[in-house]
Chains A and B, each alone.
Chain A
């Protein structure tokens, strides 16, 4: 018979440059994974009363996601469970083939911002211990974020200081939609503690602050929530600058996560123009707003805007600064950016190095 039998692997092994990933979402295989760090009273409370988000909808996200668990359909682990819940599969599908040598964990849905603040504090602490037990102690490439119950900034600051000397933690994690704009002095103890321990404050899109999703009210479609994350990020950045957070904490670093970035130059230009006219209203600012943004804010890349022609994104990145971007995939979420294809530009070696790893090594402590 005229048939050749051949054994061809479906996936070709490739050698790729080492990269950082500033936004990886680990998930629980089952809800009880937090139990070792949750007192029985909290487990009972969750079983009897649940966890209430600060939003008018009492269960589930206000805007249901377009894909199950907002995740890639190919990211379900072979052993089952949520996307992102298996370290072995994360290694096999993402960390190893993409040569991720530094992965920042940003656990979502872990209890940040829920209405019962004492329960939020307990869940956030459980999340932090779980990150060590399930992730960072098992794979040295992964680093944790201190998840804090940000509506209680005093408790949050204590949680940050608790991990001050633990090298597995490199960032403090906040969400963008809080009950008050994040520059409000209510939140200042968080920034004070973060600056003290040398961790940047990462501010990730999402959360439910009790306010409408957009400044003009509740939208009709999920796509409006998606792009509305940029508006939330713009408002909180405005607030951080003009409330004087960066003036007050000169060593504070922040990382804007998953809110886009091409809008940043326009916001800074507009703030500068307005501040020159209105300076007397905010005399506690000693410098132009754009200078505070330039010195205190980094940006994760995903979801990178996709303009036509694509070269426009290089202009936008250049206006903000090639030294300010931290590559991120958002694995395993469905709006994942692929390291090989998401930046289809000819750029210099040093720009590529900074974008994919160098900037991250300078922002997060102890990872270079």
Chain B
């Protein structure tokens, strides 16, 4: 396992996402209110690119006619078939027992620490003033 610098933290604004590659593995990095989460960019259903999905919330109904809206901005829907996943946990809402998309913890590291290393950066030029997103893989 090694530590991979995948992006500068400032590249992904809150509510935005970015596709990166770690050891050839495509990973979508999401910024949820300043916290970063990584998700494999392949839907477990048929392989749709999760990074291009719509970010939304979760509508549930505890009983017919009553609607709850939760997880605003924390759900991503696959751009192909619309399967919904929790960005933080990778949990699927259609069949939570069976389907979960692979998630990757994303750590925010100071440029000074990154420069000391050891890290692997994918086409990232590192400066001590910036903060960086790091994935262990």
Q: Which residues of A contact B (CB under 8 A)?
A: 1-12, 66-67, 72-74, 334-338, 340-342
Cβ–Cβ contact A5 & B121, under 8 A:
yes
Name the A residues within 8 Å of B5 (CB-CB).
3
The complex places the Cα of A121 from the Cα of B52 at a distance, in Å, of 39
Cβ–Cβ contact A72 & B79, under 8 A:
yes
Judged by a CB distance under 8 angstroms, whether B119 is at the interface is yes
- Evaluate whether A3 and B82 lie within 8 angstroms (CB atoms) in the complex, with A341-B46, A342-B46 already known: no
Name the B residues within 8 Å of A340 (CB-CB).
47
Contacts A/B (CB < 8 Å), 26 sampled: A1-B115, A1-B117, A1-B126, A3-B117, A3-B126, A4-B121, A5-B121, A5-B124, A6-B120, A6-B123, A8-B24, A11-B26, A12-B24, A66-B82, A67-B82, A72-B79, A73-B52, A73-B79, A74-B49, A74-B80, A334-B80, A334-B82, A338-B46, A338-B80, A341-B45, A341-B46
The complex places the Cα of A340 from the Cα of B48 at a distance, in Å, of 11
Cβ–Cβ contact A334 & B81, under 8 A:
yes
Cβ–Cβ contact A2 & B52, under 8 A:
no
Name the A residues within 8 Å of B122 (CB-CB).
6, 8
Instruction: Please give the distance in Å from A225's CB to the nearest CB on chain B.
Output: 15
The complex places the Cα of A7 from the Cα of B126 at a distance, in Å, of 15
Q: Which residues of B contact A (CB under 8 A)?
A: 5, 19, 21, 24, 26, 45-49, 52-54, 79-82, 114-126
Name the A residues within 8 Å of B54 (CB-CB).
73
Known: A10-B19, A10-B21, A11-B26. 8 other contacts (CB 8 A): A1-B115, A6-B122, A9-B21, A73-B80, A74-B48, A334-B80, A338-B46, A341-B45
Main secondary structure of the interface of B (DSSP, over half): loop
The complex places the Cα of A4 from the Cα of B45 at a distance, in Å, of 35
Q: Which residue of B lies closest to A8 (CB)?
A: B21
Q: Which residue of B lies closest to A2 (CB)?
A: B117
Name the A residues within 8 Å of B124 (CB-CB).
3, 5
Cβ–Cβ contact B81 & A3, under 8 A:
no
Cβ–Cβ contact B53 & A73, under 8 A:
yes
Cβ–Cβ contact A335 & B123, under 8 A:
no
Cβ–Cβ contact A341 & B47, under 8 A:
yes
The complex places the Cα of A262 from the Cα of B126 at a distance, in Å, of 55
Q: Which residue of A lies closest to B132 (CB)?
A: A3
The complex places the Cα of A9 from the Cα of B80 at a distance, in Å, of 23
The complex places the Cα of A74 from the Cα of B80 at a distance, in Å, of 8
7 closest Cβ pairs, A-B complex: A2-B117, A73-B79, A74-B52, A341-B46, A338-B46, A3-B121, A74-B79
- Evaluate whether A337 and B52 lie within 8 angstroms (CB atoms) in the complex, with A1-B117, A6-B123 already known: no
- Evaluate whether A10 and B26 lie within 8 angstroms (CB atoms) in the complex, with A2-B118, A334-B80 already known: yes
Instruction: Please give the distance in Å from B95's CB to the nearest CB on chain A.
Output: 9
Q: Which residue of B lies closest to A7 (CB)?
A: B123
Name the B residues within 8 Å of A338 (CB-CB).
46-48, 80
The complex places the Cα of A338 from the Cα of B115 at a distance, in Å, of 42
Interface centre among B54, B79, B82, B124 (most CB of A within 10 A): B79
Cβ–Cβ contact A72 & B121, under 8 A:
no
Name the A residues within 8 Å of B47 (CB-CB).
338, 340-341
The complex places the Cα of A67 from the Cα of B54 at a distance, in Å, of 10
Name the A residues within 8 Å of B81 (CB-CB).
334-336
Name the B residues within 8 Å of A8 (CB-CB).
21, 24, 122-123
Instruction: Please give the distance in Å from A212's CB to the nearest CB on chain B.
Output: 24
Instruction: Please give the distance in Å from B22's CB to the nearest CB on chain A.
Output: 9
Cβ–Cβ contact A337 & B46, under 8 A:
yes
Instruction: Please give the distance in Å from B52's CB to the nearest CB on chain A.
Output: 4
Instruction: Please give the distance in Å from B49's CB to the nearest CB on chain A.
Output: 5
Name the A residues within 8 Å of B125 (CB-CB).
5
Name the A residues within 8 Å of B118 (CB-CB).
2
Name the B residues within 8 Å of A73 (CB-CB).
52-54, 79-80
